[in-house]
């Protein structure tokens, strides 16, 4: 299976609406998607939430995530599940390797 890596800044930021909701065009027959993001530099978008659950798995590097005014350092291999009402954003990307 060939993974398609996408620039996280280019995909995430533009989909955040005025209320901070990240709108995603799910297929109504199967509202599930798996995306692979890479970040070069720190993310440049504001806090947001989804209208769905989000599962984040970090393959390489580390991130500093802000959620409800708390900062969470997530290492490579970390898994995070966030509910649909949790406002959050990635503050920093640390030591990520090259995109495969």
Return d(Cα 27, Cα 80) in angstroms, integer: 24
- Specify the CATH number for 5-94; select among 2.60.40, 2.60.120, 1.10.3470, 1.20.1740: 2.60.120
Return d(Cα 3, Cα 37) in angstroms, integer: 10
3 state DSSP class of 5:
strand
Strand 5-7 versus strand 36-38 pairing type? parallel
- Would you say residue 2 has pLDDT above 80? no
* pLDDT tens-digit map of 34-87: 888 887 777 878 899 988 889 999 988 899 999 988 999 999 999 999 998 999
Higher-confidence residue of 15 and 94: namely 15
Question: Can you give the residue ranges of every domain in the chain?
Answer: 5-94
Does the pTM surpass 0.85? The reply is no
């Amino acid at each position: 299976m060939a993974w398609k890596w996408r620039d996280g800044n280019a995909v995430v930021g533009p989909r955040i609406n005025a209320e901070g909701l990240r709108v995603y065009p799910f297929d109504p027959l199967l509202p599930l998607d798996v995306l692979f993001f890479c970040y070069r530099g720190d993310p440049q978008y504001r806090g947001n939430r989804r209208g769905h659950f989000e599962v984040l798995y970090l393959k390489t590097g580390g991130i500093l995530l802000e959620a409800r005014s708390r900062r969470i350092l997530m290492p490579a291999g970390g898994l995070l599940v966030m509910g649909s009402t949790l406002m959050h954003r990635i503050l920093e990307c640390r030591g990520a390797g090259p995109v495969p």
